Chain A
Amino acid sequence: MMGETDQMIPLQDADTPDQGAALAKVWSGYVEGRPIKLHELLATFPYAGKIDRDRLTVKVAVAVARTWTIDNAMPAILFLGAVRGLDITLDLRDYGVLHQEVLDPGSGLYDSQFDYLVLLWQLNDFLPDMHACWGWSPEERADRITTAAQYAALLMKTAAERHKGTVICFDFGMDPHGPSRGVIDSLDAHSPSAVHRCLNEALHEEVIRMNVVGVHILRLAKLQYRLGFDHWPDDRLRLTARCPVGLAGQIAVLDEVVRLIATEERKPRKVLLLDCDNTLWGGVVGEDGWDGIRLDADYPGNAFVEIQKLILQLHHQGVVLGVCSKNDEAVVRSLFEEHPNMILRPEHISVWAVNWEPKSENIRSVVDRLSLSMDSFVFIDDSSVERAEIRARCPDVFVPEVPENPLQLLAFWQRFNPFARTSLSDEDRWRGRSYQQEEKRQTVRASAMSLTDFYADLQMRCRMWRAEEQDVPRIVQMSHRTNQFNATTIRMSEADVGLLLADSAVDVYLLELLDRFGASGVIGCAVVRRTAREATVEQFMLSCRVLKRTVENHFVGLIMSEVVGVADRLTLRYVPTKKNGLIRRFFDQIVSGESAAVQCEWHMDVTSENADNHLQPWIAVYTEDEEQ
């Protein structure tokens, strides 16, 4: 059970005792996204009348006003509700009179019995001449879009003001026929796809402008993606039954509505208590040690890294995280603090209960400390013994079954969200962090991204050092593998490199780079020979992985900084090959105006000011000590 569907479907006089469980299995599977055949869902429809509604605890009355035919899918809403513990009483209003019913206060739509009012409209209601969109002038286009969005927003506002409960509607989604109309459809502002996109944006703008409150606008595109365009529009149903989408689409629409209702009706859980070993990483840290646990780039370690990322998303949605583990606290703490692959860090964890006491006692004391009730808590543990202990002694804590296999465990986390809510305030988003005071200021980027922004966004940091004995293999490797950005292309053996390192007039520099995607390792190498007041860069290589990010300019600046005071002139040497034209253009570019290229040598005046000119402001420098 994934937190959303934790109910059986109770039945009256079922054909077999297991019928309710069988129905729940089919509909839970659908809700949780497992592949289900449509006729398997259809086969459950005849049982809709047998659902024992008295045994469903949450009663909701829903009115559906529509310009669609959706009648033959309607039994689905009862199952989608029942599997989530909802008893839905449905009033399917007459076909085609949505607009009239919304605008007429006496239409019966606003009878106080309805908790939810669903508006199912079609784009055609607001923009019947969509087919002419290619011929619209820019003014006409803007005008049509605004008018349609305003009309829809006005209907929402009217419904929301007159209806006591929540209003639910959909936006216009994507053009279901777009992909078949050729690439121009995605390129041209007048295409149906573009008009759909603009309409959805305009709709949200109008809702804000008109200050419409109490309405949830669901995104139709999400359902279109889920089913794919092959299974969304249905010309047969549209032309013969006035329904724009197939049965699968109708059920998906109802599911999205019920999902929202269930989320509104359920008291969301607030605290997620996590076991550590085989929950946040593979293996047992107390036995296997730091090096033995699986939390790395390969399976199964990468599955646990991804699981931690999903848990971090919950933290950012305001879920309070706690660690509840039978372990040595110092070992677990240091892992959270220092293990390089941990995504969850101490600042994300609000509650620590790491000791050898029974977990139920730990949970009781956490409940007291946070002044919350037990039913706010979710407990995740890979051990069925621990789960059973919590279920027995803290029955209100939600303890889902979790799979053992890391791949299945990841799938569990991808769908698991008993914390879901229908809106997030900024306070929610920050709640998980309120125990710490390290809020970082979020800056909003301008609409267009400049190249400078891009460089800054990479968060590059580098380190340059004089090569030593242990660097020899990497230098040999670079000299053989680097072709495009290799100024003199001298292939060296280990002995050649050894001679260079032993030469007191020669410095071999290595450059290492980190960015926000991780460490690139050693990516640059330069061989600099010092003679009287002159330094000659005899070899200059850079891995092509990091080209065009200004790292090459920075490298030149760093090298020049090293020879300030000991040399007046820096010479860049170049030997052309079929592949390294790139580096000649680079030298031309950085030396232009300083001195002309003569016989494949470029000369630069060595000053600290000139060196600074080549250093890039968006590349930070770190030392070996800071590397971790």
Chain B
Amino acid sequence: MNNREKLFDVFKQVFGIHEVTKEMTQNDIPEWNSLQMINLIMALEEVFEIQIMPEEAADMLSVELVMDILAEKGVAFNAEGAV
């Protein structure tokens, strides 16, 4: 499973949804409220073994922005060969 698949799985698990795309924002996922945000952060930290600061969490407004912040922490999302 590559990092993109792992990330999408976290979204599916935490929010109980079946489809995730890079373009989705907080507005597209009704369950993505401030409480579920905490669970999302914790799941991301555990799955990718990283730490996310509150300031960074505040910027996570879409799936793509989450990917950007994770990429800054060394989680690679290039389509080919990523693990």
Interfacial chain B residues near A71, Cβ < 8 Å = 35
Interface bin, chain B:
10 to 19
Cross-chain contact B46 with A43 (CB below 8 angstroms): no
What separation, in Å, do the CA atoms of A38 and B39 have in the docked complex?
9
Interfacial chain B residues near A43, Cβ < 8 Å = 13-14, 43
Cross-chain contact B16 with A39 (CB below 8 angstroms): no
Which of B31, B42, B53 contacts A42 (CB under 8 A)? B42
What separation, in Å, do the CA atoms of A38 and B15 have in the docked complex?
15
Closest B residue to A15 by beta carbon equals: B18
Given contacts A39-B13, A39-B47, are A45 and B39 in contact (CB under 8 A)?
Answer: yes
Residues of A238-261 whose CB lies within 8 A of B: 239-241, 246-247
Interfacial chain A residues near B54, Cβ < 8 Å = 236, 239-240
Chain B CB within 8 A of A313 CB: no
What separation, in Å, do the CA atoms of A71 and B36 have in the docked complex?
10
Interfacial chain A residues near B31, Cβ < 8 Å = 46
Chain A CB within 8 A of B38 CB: yes
Would you give the shortest CB distance from B40 to chain A, in whole angstroms?
9
What separation, in Å, do the CA atoms of A236 and B35 have in the docked complex?
14
Chain A window 43-81, contacts with chain B (Cβ cutoff 8 Å), 1 for yes, 0 for no:
101110000000000000000000000011000000000
Would you give the shortest CB distance from B56 to chain A, in whole angstroms?
11
Dominant SS among interface residues on chain B: helix
Interfacial chain A residues near B16, Cβ < 8 Å = 45-47
Cross-chain contact A72 with B47 (CB below 8 angstroms): no
What separation, in Å, do the CA atoms of A240 and B52 have in the docked complex?
13
Cross-chain contact A38 with B36 (CB below 8 angstroms): no
Cross-chain contact A46 with B46 (CB below 8 angstroms): no
Which of A39, A237, A239, A241 contacts B43 (CB under 8 A)? A39
Interfacial chain B residues near A37, Cβ < 8 Å = 46
Cross-chain contact A38 with B42 (CB below 8 angstroms): yes
Given contacts A39-B13, A45-B16, are A72 and B36 in contact (CB under 8 A)?
Answer: yes
Chain A CB within 8 A of B76 CB: no
Closest A residue to B43 by beta carbon equals: A39
Interfacial chain A residues near B10, Cβ < 8 Å = 39
Cross-chain contact B15 with A46 (CB below 8 angstroms): yes
10 smallest beta-carbon distances between A and B, as pairs: A46-B16, A43-B13, A39-B43, A72-B35, A240-B54, A72-B38, A39-B46, A42-B39, A247-B42, A42-B43
19 contacts between A and B (CB under 8 A): A37-B46, A39-B14, A39-B43, A39-B47, A42-B14, A42-B39, A42-B42, A43-B43, A45-B14, A45-B39, A46-B13, A46-B14, A46-B15, A47-B16, A72-B36, A72-B39, A246-B42, A247-B38, A247-B39
Known: A39-B13, A42-B39. 19 other contacts (CB 8 A): A38-B42, A39-B10, A39-B47, A42-B13, A43-B43, A45-B14, A45-B16, A46-B13, A46-B14, A46-B15, A46-B16, A46-B31, A47-B16, A72-B35, A72-B36, A236-B54, A237-B38, A246-B42, A247-B39
Residue ranges of A at the interface with B (Cβ–Cβ < 8 Å): 37-39, 42-43, 45-47, 71-72, 236-237, 239-241, 246-247
Residue ranges of B at the interface with A (Cβ–Cβ < 8 Å): 10, 13-16, 31, 35-36, 38-39, 42-43, 46-47, 53-54
